[in-house]
Amino acid sequence: MHKISMVLVSFFLISSAGYTQTQELVNIRSKFVEESQKLSDLLKGTKDVVLVNSMWDACILAVTQLDAYFAMAGIVNARNAQMSKEAVDYLISWLNRIKRTNNSNIESLSDTSQAIEAKTVVRMKRLKGYFTQMNDLIDKELNRINILKQLLSGKPVPRK
């Protein structure tokens, strides 16, 4: 019983400390939504239609992936949910999947050998920064979730 209460207390402490982290993920999601709107406007008058459309697609995918993560985290954190190591493993797996997608997008945005318009370059740099920022936030989120995983596994959590 003591172990369960320790896990619950630790979970609530991690959850409250993680509120800021979650808010940062919500903020980066908003940046992707704004950027997708700007890219949509740019599509109307650019010669870089294929590239700009690909960047718009990447924004929409990022928003969708974050929305899915928020839904999964909400299920795990629901009042009557059964907190399990398996549920935490799903969250970790999904976050790692988002990071792989982001890394692929960063690589694509870094590796353009074609001649492109200056306004497209500005959007590419901004988008690359957002993907990099999101990966940093995901790393923080993964650290937080891994602490929860250790608690659920009964392993001691190293103190920093």
Output the pLDDT for position 84. 78
| Ranges in the chain, pLDDT < 50 | 1-7, 9-10, 13-14, 16-18
Cα 7 from Cα 112, distance rounded (Å): 48
Q: Would you state the pLDDT for residue 66?
A: 97
Domains and CATH numbers, the chain: 2-153 (1.20.140)
Q: What pLDDT does 74 receive?
A: 85
Q: What is the pTM of this model?
A: 0.81
Which secondary structure element, helix H or strand E, spans residue 156, and what is its range?
none
pLDDT score for 21:
63
Q: b/e for 44-61, b at 16 or more Cβ within 10 A?
A: eebebeebbeebbebbee
**Hey, CA dihedral for 9, 13, 18, 19, is it positive or negative?**
positive
